[in-house]
Amino acid sequence: MSNKLTTLNLYLEPADNRRLASLCGPFDDNIKQLERRIGVEISYKNNHFKIVGLPRNSLNANNLLKSLYVETQPVKGSTPDLEPDQVHVAIQEAIALESEDMGENKELYIKTKRGVIKPRNPNQSQYVANIVRHDITFGVGPAGTGKTYLAVAAAVDALERQEVRRILLTRPAVEAGEKLGFLPGDLSQKVDPYLRPLYDALFEMMGFEKVERLIERNVIEVAPLAYMRGRTLNEAFIILDESQNTTVEQMKMFLTRIGFNSRAVITGDITQSDLPRGQRSGLRHAIEVLKNVEEVSFNFFQAQDVVRHPVVARIVEAYDHHDQKVQRAKAEAQKEKLNDEQQ
């Protein structure tokens, strides 16, 4: 495919000022959304639209404008207003169709200004594809499988291509079996230690100085999960890390914060919960509740997907085998107890 920009001229017929105003939206918001998410520049005068971008992107924008203009046809003599969520859904469908046309076996990669990040195994490739194609993506599995790193890479890519206006990083502030006590400093300084893996990935992909500038401008926002309550997050790429440490109520609260034109990636390892004994993990509960919900995808990583030192994969496998052995022993003991009671 050519990397040269092309210009497409589109004339929407019949020319109708009321329908054209509905298509463009208040202050051209619908046009701006198309530009931002498809990666093109659109200018227009009356019913003549000029689209500048890469050939595939320009053609997609051309087809979307045509189909959205059909949606503005008068109903009972009244021209309906084209709502932002209609534009959002149309774009999502176009992206999904394009992904299918390009084929499942196409090599996926994430491009940032610091370089190209390629998935290292089929499971990672599917994970990246799901992040691109779905509004909410779960990455579940052991440490070292690239769940968080690839999520941050996808967020940086979306921000640099202006698909979203900001990145929000969050995680539950649960201590990993330790009591840290009082920590001095402001909110950011208190939460920073918990979010260090996310920061490290951002610094690697964007550079320390740029990340610091974007944080100062609130383009990149870091906050504990508890501070998400009551907010609606529009045009954002949101990453919830260590989600196995959320309660059921916290997970529901987080998922219902996601607003218009936003994407969310939730990562976690259900085997490493630091919640108090007896408290159910919001991640485990969400997997059961949301498994059949459209626009929500799940990726389950295994020990063989670990991309750190080979010994990490063997450690994960050893713990898995041990846990399975303990579960079998418990099940057998319970069965013997029931048999004794029946006798």
Q: Residue ranges per domain, the chain?
A: 6-102, 110-306, 309-343
Structural domain 110-306, CATH architecture:
3-Layer(aba) Sandwich (3.40)
Q: How far is CA 18 from CA 9, 13, 286, in A?
A: 21, 13, 44
pLDDT value, residue 278 = 81
Residue appearing with tokens 């779960």: 138
- Spatial separation of the C-alpha atoms in residues 133 and 135, rounded to whole Å: 7
Model confidence, pTM: 0.64
Within 10 angstroms of residue 272's Cβ, the number of other Cβ atoms is: 14
pLDDT value, residue 176 = 45
CATH number of 6-102: 3.30.1370.10
pLDDT value, residue 79 = 83
Which of 169, 146, 161, 140 is CA-nearest to residue 237? 169
pLDDT value, residue 311 = 64
Quick one: which H or E segment has residue 234? none
pLDDT value, residue 312 = 58
Which of 165, 141, 170 is CA-nearest to residue 241? 170
Residue appearing with tokens 């959205």: 68
Contacts of 129 (CB under 8 A, 6+ apart): 99, 104, 108
Residue appearing with tokens 């000029």: 50
In contact, 148 and 241? CB cutoff 8 Å: yes
In contact, 242 and 196? CB cutoff 8 Å: no
In contact, 156 and 112? CB cutoff 8 Å: yes
Q: Are strands 110-112 and 115-117 parallel, antiparallel or unpaired?
A: antiparallel
- Spatial separation of the C-alpha atoms in residues 289 and 338, rounded to whole Å: 31
- Spatial separation of the C-alpha atoms in residues 331 and 328, rounded to whole Å: 5
In contact, 151 and 324? CB cutoff 8 Å: no
pLDDT averaged per 10 residues, the chain (length 343): 78 92 92 87 94 90 92 85 82 68 53 73 86 91 87 90 88 58 58 74 87 91 80 88 91 89 91 82 92 88 70 68 79 79 71
pLDDT value, residue 340 = 75
pLDDT value, residue 101 = 54
Which of 147, 145, 150, 142 is CA-nearest to residue 306? 145
Quick one: which H or E segment has residue 184? none
